Structure 1
Amino acid sequence: MNKLIVFSVLCGVFIRSGELSPEFKEKFAAKMEAIGEKCAEETGASQDDIAKILTKDIPETREGKCMLFCGHRELHIQTPDGGTDLDSAIASLDFLKNEDSELYDKMVQVYTICSKVPFVEDPCDYAVALSTCGTHEAQKLGMDATLLE
């Protein structure tokens, strides 16, 4: 699976690569690839769903939307019951603090803003709302999709 797909699926935001070391990118990409493969298998997301995610479009199928939820769950953006836990989500970013503190601060800002998205009972639909927010807020902060390039 394309590692950029996996990142887009799981984080729902775009980040720049300026100060990220090649070793960090490689390690991060491997983690995202493993999560993405797990979530694709778990949800049965189709190649069309993954293609939509790759182009930053929201999948229209239940499986594609649930792939977003699965990734969020794996990264502690969403809890297993579909809600959010801002403290856990921010704690999951600790790996980034020493690598790029400016990027870490921007990600915390995105997570904080998007944690206020009104709750949607269906966890897959809520994942879509969170991903949409994350993409929008990251763009406002000037973050882009070059993390793994």
Structure 2
Amino acid sequence: MYVLKFFACIVLIGCIKAKTLDDLKNNYLEMIVKCTSKYPITDEDLELLKTGDMGDKESTKCLFACVYKKTGMMDDKGMLDVDQTNKIVQTYFSDNSEELKKGLAYTEACKSVNDAPVTDGDRGCDRAALLFKCTTENLPAALTDEEVKLELMKHVMKCSKNHPVDFNELMQLQKLVVPKTTEAKCLLACAYRSEGIMTSKGLYDLEHAYSIAKLVKNGDDQREENAKKVADICVKVNEVEVSDGEKGCERAALIFKCTLDNAPKFGFKV
């Protein structure tokens, strides 16, 4: 979950040209996809990142450096670009004082990474690891709606190595368009299994869905109950007869569509 929080935080302060905050996030996710193709990470790497520990693998550190640089958060010298990140925060949150305050506080808390000695100079991989650590220590614990989406995309990107699809199909998933091709459906099934939403038998895991409901609570009991209601509706996809059985590709598309159709009815943004 910590790597997700990092991604969610950097999304809000990345320096890229976008007309709206949603455009900013969509473009940012494309950058993550490109960087993971150059610096792939394993299941073990992801599990370690979830604990807030990046480990010592150079490829993982350089993956984060790649993303930081592509968004403009890190400059060509491998340093956190404080002025640029603050500028983006001010641009996109000028009408939201609470989020503006959080963004500026994050930059202030983490700018000290520029003073730390590193061994790889302007590559930025070592400093990216320091910035990751600072980020995990300065973000809230609960999941937002956007972070839930990013969590799924993280697993989609991981699965794309063994379930390759056209880049446009990958972007369609990121934009929450229900997949139509078998390849994209199977990629989604892999992601759902990786995240725990789907069981090894290709079924929707209601117990895991309830655990996610607790994570999205954000101090609001009704929000947790609403998330459980969505899960109670979508678990019914397990009753639908599918052509690929335990493979789960067809059912994954049904889960995806059910979530998109019903989450907004209970106050969740998709």
Letter in 1 for 2:116: F
Work out which structure has the larger RCO, using CA pairs closer than 8 Å and 6 or more positions apart in sequence: 1
1:45 maps onto 2:41 in alignment: yes
Name the CA shift for 1:79/1:138 in 2 (closer, same or farther; >3 Å).
same
Q: How many angstroms does 1:39 deviate by?
A: 0.9
For 2:65, the equivalent position in structure 1 comes to 69
Aligned residue pairs, count: 134
SS of match in other structure, 1:92: helix
1:128 maps onto 2:129 in alignment: yes
SS of match in other structure, 1:110: helix
Determine which of 83, 87, 97 is the counterpart of 2:79.
83
Letter in 2 for 1:112: E
Q: How many angstroms does 1:11 deviate by?
A: 4.1
Q: How many angstroms does 1:29 deviate by?
A: 4.3
Alignment partners' CA distance in 2, 1:77 and 1:104 = 16
Q: State the TM-score, normalized to the length of structure 1.
A: 0.69
Letter in 1 for 2:117: V
Alignment partners' CA distance in 2, 1:13 and 1:52 = 21
CA deviation digits over 1:22-77, x for unaligned, max 9?
Answer: x95x5454223211111111223334334433554314311111111111112222
For 2:116, the equivalent position in structure 1 comes to 119
Q: How many angstroms does 1:145 deviate by?
A: 3.7
Which residues of 2 match residues 7-22 of structure 1 at below 5 A? 8-9=6-7, 11=9
CA deviation digits over 1:95-133, x for unaligned, max 9?
Answer: 531463311211111112211223333311111111111
Alignment partners' CA distance in 2, 1:8 and 1:114 = 12
Gaps of 5+ in 1: 15-22
* Identity, % of aligned positions: 19
Gaps of 5+ in 2: 13-19, 149-270
Letter in 2 for 1:124: C
Name the CA shift for 1:11/1:38 in 2 (closer, same or farther; >3 Å).
farther
Q: How many angstroms does 1:92 deviate by?
A: 2.6
Determine which of 24, 27, 31 is the counterpart of 2:27.
31
88-97 or 64-73, larger mean C-alpha shift: 88-97
Letter in 2 for 1:80: D
Alignment partners' CA distance in 2, 1:75 and 1:64 = 17
Alignment partners' CA distance in 1, 2:72 and 2:106 = 14
User: What's the Cα RMSD here?
Assistant: 3.2
Determine which of 82, 100, 105 is the counterpart of 1:104.
100
Higher helix share: 2
1:138 maps onto 2:135 in alignment: no
- Pick the structure with greater CA Rg: 2
Name the CA shift for 1:48/1:146 in 2 (closer, same or farther; >3 Å).
same
Name the CA shift for 1:106/1:125 in 2 (closer, same or farther; >3 Å).
same
Is the 8 Å Cα contact of residues 76 and 92 (structure 1) preserved in structure 2? Answer: no
